Amino acid sequence: VPKASAAILLGDLCLVWSDLMLARSGLAPEALARAASGYGEMRAELMAGQYLDLLEQALGGRDLERALRVARYKSAKYTIERPLHLGGRLAGASPAVLDAYTGYGIPLGEAFQLRDDVLGVFGDPATTGKPAGDDLREGKRTALVAIALQSATPDQAALVRRRLGDPALDDAGVAELRAVIEQTGALAAVEALIDDRVTSALAALDTPVVAAPAREVLTALAAAATCRDV
Amino acid sequence: VPKASAAILLGDLCLVWSDLMLARSGLAPEALARAASGYGEMRAELMAGQYLDLLEQALGGRDLERALRVARYKSAKYTIERPLHLGGRLAGASPAVLDAYTGYGIPLGEAFQLRDDVLGVFGDPATTGKPAGDDLREGKRTALVAIALQSATPDQAALVRRRLGDPALDDAGVAELRAVIEQTGALAAVEALIDDRVTSALAALDTPVVAAPAREVLTALAAAATCRDV
């Protein structure tokens, strides 16, 4: 059996099994009906985000806004905002609570993806569990790379074009690319973006519609999802 | 953007959009809840059927039982039984009605696939809209081919092995393979299987739990799905 065909079917089967788990969860029909539309939208947004990501890689992106849009669809909405909406809708939360979750989830999700981008380049293999500079070898077009390319000298840009995405990139090559990302100010800029977004996310929780226990858990999640040491 | 990746995402998006259409159909939450489990099972069965089909092609199948099992999962359940169950469950049908739909849908769906197999080899391009002998050129391992291989002389089997799945198969090659399928009795055997299954399907409708208007429509569907002239 061709492996790619079997893999596609397995992916579809997992998608369908997750539907069955929700359908058979024992939740009330009314709760499931409230959640169904947002659940489907979450998945449609993910497909769109994956497509934007493919497009960005194909374009060899150096556009920060586009890189952040990919992060919004692939990570922010799918990983944080929409799951909170799902839980909220199942529990019958008011629109004001769902709005607060959006205000928290979108910036935190972007910060989570930006932290992942930083760890993919500068992360310690002992804590990330991935080889050092993995994203560099894979040639991922992240916000970090977009900012570095925008601020690079011609020599630095040529180095990035030559080595980024080289599967044979060794430790010395990783160190060279890391140096460009630091010297262009891209690392500092991304750290500032992360701080800014975490601040926005936490501010969105500062409303009486979010109950105190939820605020406590979500504050801890914001720290866990964006901290420097994985 | 790599075409295969975009195509996979588009397929997933269509799967998700179909969920959204059902979720937003305006049907009552209780009706949707009754239908959800069978709807998910239908899709899981289809993935299983597609996998069995891939496996059968890879094995170069000559086993009639396995070919019929593929037809059951890919066509009978997905095309007829499960859609009838979906409608039945949405309308609050009794288990006896759903059982009658199974008794009708499984054999009719197998007959539908067997008719498709015959048309794929012997169909008239003017009515099927496909080139003559399309399934032969594609090398499809259908029940028709399985029976032919089981009854073939060594010379006939060698011919089938040599030409089935040859993308360059011309009209003379199609005629040679058609002759083997007729001479081995495979065509007559498949026509008998179709008749047998249509008889079973119609017999399953002969119960008071299936209302007269439904019986009329389903009887017409059985004829339309299995008739010789598309």
Q: Residue A10 — pLDDT band, cuts 50, 70, 90?
A: very high
Residues in chain B with CB shorter than 8 Å from the CB of A55 are 1
Distance in angstroms (rounded) separating the CA atoms of residues B85 and B78: 10
Q: Yes or no: say if A12 and A47 are a contact pair by the CB < 8 Å rule.
A: no
- The secondary element (H helix, E strand) that includes residue A64 is helix A64-71
Confidence of residue B230 (pLDDT cuts 50, 70, 90): low
Residue of B58, B228, B54, B64 whose CA lies nearest to B144: B64
Q: Output the six-digit token pair for B226.
A: 């299995």
Cα B45 from Cα A4, distance rounded (Å) = 19
In tens, the pLDDT along A140-187 reads: 888 999 999 999 999 999 999 999 999 999 999 999 999 999 999 999
Q: What digits encode the pLDDT tens for the residues B122-138? A: 998 888 888 888 899 99
Best mutation target, B3, B10, B12, to test chain A (most A CBs within 10 A): B12
Q: Which residues of A touch B47 (CB under 8 A)?
A: 9-10, 12-13, 16
pLDDT at B88: 95
A1–B54 C-beta distance less than 8 A: yes
CA angle B175, B181, B185 (to 5 degrees): 140
Q: What is the pLDDT of residue A132?
A: 81
Mean pLDDT of B29-54: 94
Distance of CA A30 to the CA centre of its chain: 31
Over residues B63-80, the mean pLDDT reads 89
Burial (CB < 10 A; 0-12, 13-18, 19+), residue A229, is: exposed
Residue position matching structure tokens 């009794």: B94
pLDDT of B219 > 60? The answer is yes
What lies within 8 Å, CB to CB, of B31 at 6+ separation is B89, B90, B91, B92
Q: What is the mean pLDDT of residues B56-73?
A: 84
| Structure tokens that stand for A8 in this block | 């596609």
Contact A15 B15 (CB under 8 A): yes
Residues of A with CB below 8 A from B1's CB? 51, 54-55, 58
| Residues in CB range of A188: below 8 A, 6 or more apart | A182
Among chain A residues, CA nearest to B19: A40
Residue B58: pLDDT band with limits 50, 70, 90: confident
Assess B7–A contact: CB distance below 8 Å, yes or no. Answer: no
* Of B155, B223, B159, B145, residue with least CA distance to B187: B145
Identify the pLDDT of residue B228: 76
Q: Which residue has the tokens 């959800």?
A: B36
pLDDT of residue A230: 55
Q: Do A33 and B29 touch (CB under 8 A)?
A: yes
Contact A20, B41 (CB under 8 A): yes
CB-side neighbour CA atoms (13 Å) of A21: 6
Q: Which of residues 57-116 of A touch B (CB under 8 A)?
A: 58
Residues in chain A with CB shorter than 8 Å from the CB of B73 are none
pLDDT at residue B105 tops 90: yes
Q: ipTM, 2 decimals?
A: 0.83
pTM given for the model: 0.83
Is B206 in CB contact (< 8 Å) with chain A?
no
